[in-house]
Chains A and B, each alone.
Chain A
Amino acid sequence: MRMKNVLATRWGVIGVGAVIGILAAALQKLGNPGNMGVCVACFARDIAGALGLHRAETVQYLRPEILGFVLGSFLAALLFREFRPRAGSAPIVRFILGAFAMIGALVFLGCPWRALLRLAGGDLNAVLGIAGLVFGVWVGTLFLKNGYTLGRSQPTSKAAGMIMPLIALGFLLLLFIYPQIQGKGMSGVLFYSMSGPGSMHAPLLVSLAIGLVVGGIAQQSRFCTMGALRDLILFRQTHLLGGVIALVLAAFLANLVFGQFEPGFIGQPVAHSMHFWNFAGMTLAGLAFCLAGGCPGRQLFLSGEGDGDAAVFVIGMVSGAAFAHNFGLASSPSGIGPHGAAAVGIGLVVCLLIGWSMRAKGV
């Protein structure tokens, strides 16, 4: 029998949440944008920009944190013999869920992690986003109770399970081959921002190291923000919720220490105050995460441990981010994009149809 996994205990998850909260606040202190120490949605969007998949010049950076998440999870899974290549559970549905989850998150301006970090930094708009997230997850649990399933994955080859870690490694190499050049918007094949959130980042090696650490401990602890809400609603279980609360409290305390706590609704970093759309955007994201079985961070960690379906969700997120900026769906500090409202409406209809139509048939 394997040794006990300490990080997957109640106190383990709480500890991991606290470490993520402190490291996220530290990343902000070291250069990442405000209340965006780590944001899977924003950073996947920045990666889409760095690769030229969208041309919003202020959000282009191949964020090493995200690459570190995948690689850290991969290494932890190998080390603890948990690397299990698997795939084949409705990949196209997961791609669409990833894309709409991202579009919803970019209407709010943040993934669940950033919603928590925004709250911990005093951004009260996050309350609406978190309320929307809870509502979306609740809707998702109704489908789960009625037998919703995307079907089974099957074991697959080691090579297939390693595709996502290898993509992360490849992008990391690109980051070293084509480093940022002061005052230039391009370096080799990569785009860089000269202003805006994409230009704000902690030193590459610090971001990468923190990404690797968080990837490793999150993989082992199964940390999942959406899962925390879902398990509370479905099973009255508070196991994962402990980690989420610890993340908020730790980030809040770290923000106080770093002088980064500024309570209020107005003038918050990379945020807007259109309350309904903050709520609705995260409702869409929460529903999509719930139907896909994990928050965006968790999907990255799963993709690192060989889950090809989670990898498809991640690619869907990056694609969704590209559409969000190319089609004017993403919000900005001045409010929602010209077609953000329509995208949220379409996304909700699509997710509800997926929830209704994907039922167990002799699974």
Chain B
Amino acid sequence: MNATIDARGLSCPQPVILVMNRIKEQKNGTIEILVDTDTARENVSRAAGSKGWFVDRIEQDGTGYRIVIVKK
């Protein structure tokens, strides 16, 4: 696990900005993102996909989700 981003409770588009900023620094590996809404889950997954990252899994985490994205 290379990084964890806690985007819970943040308004649009901050979860995506946090992930995009991390992707710029980290060219590959694994990133784990915590979000608390379905909108953030979809937005983060879509943004990661657009940058060539693969959504490895999405798990229920409390009232939100834990998204794990991977790039080889």
Contact = CB atoms under 8 A, between A and B. Distances in A.
A171 to B, nearest CB: 26
Given A84-B63, A155-B63, A234-B17, A293 B11 contact: yes
Interface residues on A, range: 20 to 34
A86 B9 contact: yes
Interface string B20-46: 100000000000000011110011001
Contacts of B43: 222
A239 B49 CA distance: 13
A171 B48 CA distance: 42
Contacts of A235: 13, 16, 20, 47, 50
A294 B12 contact: yes
Interface majority SS (helix, strand, loop, mixed), chain A: loop
A205 interface: no
Nearest to B16: A235
A153 interface: yes
A155 B36 contact: yes
B58 A293 contact: no
Contacts of A227: 12-13
A237 B50 contact: yes
Contact of A5 (B10, B17, B36, B38): B38
Interface of B: 8-14, 16-17, 20, 36-39, 42-43, 46-47, 50, 58, 63
29 contacts: A1-B58, A8-B42, A80-B38, A82-B37, A84-B37, A84-B63, A144-B14, A145-B17, A149-B10, A149-B11, A151-B9, A152-B8, A152-B10, A153-B9, A153-B11, A155-B36, A155-B63, A222-B39, A222-B42, A227-B12, A231-B13, A234-B17, A235-B20, A235-B50, A237-B46, A239-B46, A292-B11, A293-B12, A363-B10
